[in-house]
Structure 1
């Protein structure tokens, strides 16, 4: 694991465009193999831990809705395409050739794109959130820090979701 993952949770981290991540105590880039003896995990650490877990849990809760959305728009798209095809067969049987069925079938591609795009975006976001959570958990493991977090989602006002997170840490220096 890269030492900067540890620094992202530490209060001593300093960032600059010129040097990147450095330690405020040593004024150098991090130089340790498994653990840092000078790491300080306080509010920045707790905020990051809550943020990662909240984001991951929120995406997991949205999974059912995403699949319902996917299947609904997939069904609509396929129904429109099938309707366009059947209309084309009907018009052809009447002795006419028309581009209207092709237009209807092309319109049916829009809901298919919406269905596939939404599912793909959700799966990418979930995988990213899972990776971020795994990175934070991997940093905590060598320090023997464990946690439990209870997340409760409240009401949503104008697109802003109320979230309550109760974080309990075990193994953090100063906490038993």
Structure 2
């Protein structure tokens, strides 16, 4: 693991344009093997625990919604495609070809695509949040920090997400509610 990952959760880290994240004690990039002897874990660590775990839980929530969208839009899209198929054969029996069936076919494909588009978005979100969560958990394990993170995500009728967060770390409980 990169040493800069340790600095991202350390309160002693700072940033300069030339070197990026540096240690405020030495004004240099972190230079240690496995574990930083001077690391100070408090506010930045708690912020990262909330940020990364919230992002990870949100990606799981989006995955559940995406699976529901695949079934919902998939069934509607297949129904539209079946309607197109049925209508095409009925019109061909009458000896008529109508371009409306092509439009209906495109609409059906588009509706099916909406369902799979949400799944693709869910995978991208998971591919970003999962490595961050793994790195954070490796760091907390390395520095023997035990934490408990709970979140409850809900979406109202207007599509606004509300996330209730509860983080317990080192005996301290932090509760937060965010809307986005």
The match for 1:126 is 126
State the partner residue of 1:14: 14
The answer to which of 156-165 and 109-118 deviates more is 156-165
| Whole-angstrom distance in 2 between the partners of 1:87 and 1:35 | 69
* Greater mean deviation of Cα atoms: 147-156 or 30-39: 147-156
User: Does the CA contact (< 8 Å) of 1:52 and 1:133 recur in 2?
Assistant: yes
Distance 1:155 1:82 in 2: 33
SS for the counterpart of 1:82 is: helix
Corresponding residue for residue 165 of structure 1: 166
Q: What is residue 104 of structure 1 aligned with on the other side? A: 104
Instruction: Calculate the aligned-residue CA RMSD, in Å.
Output: 2.2
- More relative contact order in 1 or in 2 (CA 8 Å, sep 6+)? 1
SS in 2 for 1:108: helix
1:1-176 matches, within 5 Å, as: 1-153=1-153, 159=160, 161-169=162-170
Query: What is the TM-score when the length of structure 1 is the normalising length?
Result: 0.86
Is 58-67 or 139-148 further displaced after alignment? 58-67
CA distance in 1 between counterparts of 2:102 and 2:155 reads: 45
Change in CA separation of 1:89 and 1:123 when aligned onto 2, cut-off 3 Å: same
Which residues of structure 2 form unaligned runs of 5+?
172-180
Deviation at 1:123, TM superposition (A): 2.2
Aligned residues: 170
How far apart in 1 are the matches of 2:154 and 2:130?
23
Once the 2 structures are TM-superposed, how far is the Cα of residue 144 of structure 1 from its aligned partner?
2.1
CA distance in 2: counterparts of 1:61 and 1:106, whole angstroms: 30
Counterparts of 2:153 and 2:77 in 1: how far apart (Å)? 33
Q: Distance in 1 between matches of 2:87 and 2:156?
A: 44
Cα deviation for residue 127 of structure 1 reads 3.1
| Gap change, CA 1:19 and 1:153, over 3 Å in 2 | same
Gapped runs of 5+ residues in structure 1? 171-176
CA contact (8 A) 1:22 1:29 kept: yes
